[in-house]
Homo-oligomer: A and B are copies of this chain.
Amino acid sequence: MTWLELAPADPFGIQTLPYGVIHTPALSGCAVRIGDRALPLYPAASTLRPELAWLLDGSTLDRLLAAGPQAWSAIRLAVTEWLSEDRDRSVIEPLLVDLKDVSMRLPFTVADYVDFYASANHAANVGRILRPDAEPLPPNWKHLPIGYHGRSGTVVASGTGIRRPNGQRKEGEDVLFGPTARLDLEAEVGFVVGVGSAMGTPVAVDAFDRHVFGAVLLNDWSARDIQAWEYVPLGPFLGKSFATSISGWITPLAALTHARVAGPLRSPKPLPYLDDRGSSWNLDLTLEVRLNGELLSRPPFASMYWTPAQMLAHLTVNGASCRSGDLFGSGTVSGSERGQVGSLLELSWAGREPFLLSDGVERTFLQDGDRVSITATAPGPAGSVIGIAEVSGHILPAAR
């Protein structure tokens, strides 16, 4: 029990404690979120646990990420105590900052960024839309988690404005250049690697939590017309590389243990390196996607076919190393219902079936000025709720 006054269902109570990097006119640095406040960690640790303070110094969470599971546990335990025990209240309470006075920075240095495609509902919807005469899922889809590398240099923190990209698109026989006419969102969950691996040594599915620090929400902004023209044969490039937004707060895996659920039945049976029956990291997260404040959909992460542990095992099975700061996204999370899809491509069926907002306006893709927000919650211990912090972004007009 914390000495702070929080609603019982606050998704950022003492059971969550996500890490981020905050900036105010008075201070910058690593922090933990509790309710609608942030606790700057370096000043707290300097006073109460000076031997841990060096891990929490600096303008990113990079040191904490690289320090590994024992350090992660020690710091989570310390922060929990500071916010629970009256003994520490006189030190901690004066340090707390209101979130409304804070801007969020990118919380870690992104090394490699990989995006997967692990929702069967999403992949099948995309197949039906783009390749209506073929099987919805490609033949490899149920054998491996399909993924590709994205641009780590354009991963930005929640709240960053997203400029509508220019690019080439095909219209009939013509190749046109200009602002994308089909700007989309993709609601995903991202996973942040803390402890890397050596080249030649794959990460087993059951070693997931020895390497991965935590989860963020991720919006894989997509320009569908640019992507459609460029992606054969080498995959998405400029249709995605202009920006990827992530939550400013990383919810540690330690907060998500109650959200673990069994994986789906998989047929054909996955190869041994993808067999996670002994240790599933399928997570019962429910996402909410909002456009200008209005709820569009509630994608269920528990419906994913491949789990993040399988993604990391696949990513490294060829001997590729992973590094502290690697980020991988799940791919768009879509459930089986229209109110559960994680992209406007699906919600508007490629623009052919506009959806209606509460003000009666029909919409398909994103317009300049639109604000997109994705949030998520999961079950926590003793009926509590765990949050993954919002990722948001608003659309700026294209550059001339």
Contacts and interface: CB of A to CB of B under 8 A. Distances in A.
Interface of A: 111-112, 117, 138-140, 143-144, 146-154, 156, 163, 165-168, 170, 175, 177, 199-202, 223, 226, 229-239, 241-243, 268, 271-273, 314-315, 317-323, 326, 399
Instruction: Please provide the 5 A-B residue pairs with the shortest distance between their CB atoms, ordered closest to farther.
Output: A235-B235, A165-B318, A149-B149, A148-B234, A238-B318
A318 B167 contact: yes
Contacts of A152: 111-112, 152
A51 to B, nearest CB: 29
A124 to B, nearest CB: 13
Contact of A148 (B148, B271, B315, B320): B148
A13 B362 CA distance: 67
Given A153-B326, A177-B271, A242-B319, A148 B235 contact: yes
A143 B175 contact: yes
A166 B144 CA distance: 14
Q: How many copies does the complex hold?
A: 2
Interface SS of chain A: loop
A231 B147 CA distance: 9
Contacts of A144: 168, 230
A351 to B, nearest CB: 20
Contact of A235 (B153, B170, B229, B231): B231
B273 A177 contact: yes
Given A154-B320, A239-B318, 5 more contacts: A149-B151, A163-B200, A165-B318, A241-B315, A241-B320
A230 B140 contact: yes
A166 B319 CA distance: 7
Contacts of A226: 318
Contacts of A199: 154, 156, 163, 242-243
